[in-house]
Amino acid sequence: MLVDSASKIDKATLTRWLLQNSDQWIDLYDTEYIDNRLLRRGTKGLLYFWPELLVRLRVTQRNLWPEVMALLGLSALECNDLEMAMLAFNWLMENAGDDYYWGLPIKWHSAENVFPPGTMMSTTTAEVVWFLLELDRRYQCVGHEDLERIGFTLASNLHRAIDDGDRLQFAYTPYPGTPVNNSNILVASALWGIGCHTRTADLMTMAKRTLLTCLEGLDPSGGITYCRGYGIIDSYHQLFSIRALYTMKDMDPIVHKWFERTLDYFERTFIDSHGGVLV
């Protein structure tokens, strides 16, 4: 109990400091403005060792990332710090797109594509939704109207890579692209969460279509490939897909089955004998 109390105090202090000193943030992805891939990777590596120096030399610059703000907002809620949760909430709403969505503060390189700063990102918006839902469940600070607006923006603005009958899959952004499994699972989780919280049947239906379409394309082993039908399976994307599946495991018995299957795959593949996670 003493250990738990101490760790919560430390977490609360750190969360408050980060939210009150966002001008001090340095992120490895602050290097995304660099077009040359090798130079971008090299600079990102240097940030591990000399972050402050690279900022002072203007090799990179600080950025405020909506996803980080949402995660810190969740941390504040976990620490029962409503003041800091509202600080995160107010910043997110002030920096939302015109239709209530969130993207990245700098241009983003993905394969051969370069997305402009502020482009709507499926995963970023979904992560923000998780925070907003938890804030509204606890304190009714967001409102059903705004949550519904965010949900329908997410469902209507993302490019629909598959939309035929019962099947539905989104691209990562409003631009055409191959469906990404972890992205679609997070989008489904956001739509399902908003739909259940606001009792909006259309959002719940789209969430179910999106998730079941995604699950039908996964390998029975439980490994979640990056793209639909192909790609690497890594611990990072596997784990946050499991987190999203957990929020929907009562949607349908098949979803509960896939939650257990993907969790079992993670434990078998990415946990070593000492309980450590293999990257």
Q: Which of 74, 88, 75 is nearest to 20 (CA)?
A: 88
Structural domain includes residue 191 = yes
**Residue 246 belongs to a domain with what CATH number?**
1.50.10.20
- 160-200 residue pLDDT tens: 999 998 999 999 999 999 999 999 999 999 999 999 999 99
CB 224 within 8 A of CB 233: yes
For residue 8, what pLDDT is reported? 52
Structural domain includes residue 219 = yes
For residue 119, what pLDDT is reported? 94
**Whole-angstrom Cα distance, residue 70 to residue 253?**
30
**Whole-angstrom Cα distance, residue 39 to residue 43?**
6
Structural domain includes residue 199 = yes
Q: Is the pLDDT of residue 1 over 80?
A: no
Structural domain includes residue 44 = no
Region 60-77: what's the mean pLDDT? 95
Q: Which helix (H) or strand (E) holds 201?
A: helix 201-216
Structural domain includes residue 54 = no
For residue 3, what pLDDT is reported? 39
| Phi and psi at residue 65, to the nearest 5° | -105, 120
- 29-56 residue pLDDT tens: 889 888 898 999 999 999 989 999 998 9
Distances (CA, A) of 111 to 35, 37, 178: 12, 10, 11
CB 231 within 8 A of CB 182: no
Instruction: Print the domain residue range for 137.
Output: 96-270
Q: Whose structure tokens read 């606001």? A: 198
Structural domain includes residue 198 = yes
Q: Which of 211, 224, 220, 200 is nearest to 150 (CA)?
A: 200
CB atoms within 10 A of CB 46: 15
For residue 2, what pLDDT is reported? 35
- Tokens representing 49 are 């060792």
Q: Is the pLDDT of residue 5 over 90?
A: no
- 222-245 residue pLDDT tens: 999 999 989 999 999 999 999 999
Structural domain includes residue 275 = no
What is the band of 9 on the pLDDT scale with cuts at 50, 70, 90? Answer: low
Percent of the chain with pLDDT over 70: 96
Q: Which helix (H) or strand (E) holds 109?
A: strand 108-110
Total tally of structural domains belonging to the chain: 1
Q: Is the pLDDT of residue 254 over 60?
A: yes
Q: Is the pLDDT of residue 98 over 90?
A: no
Structural domain includes residue 83 = no
Region 97-103: what's the mean pLDDT? 88
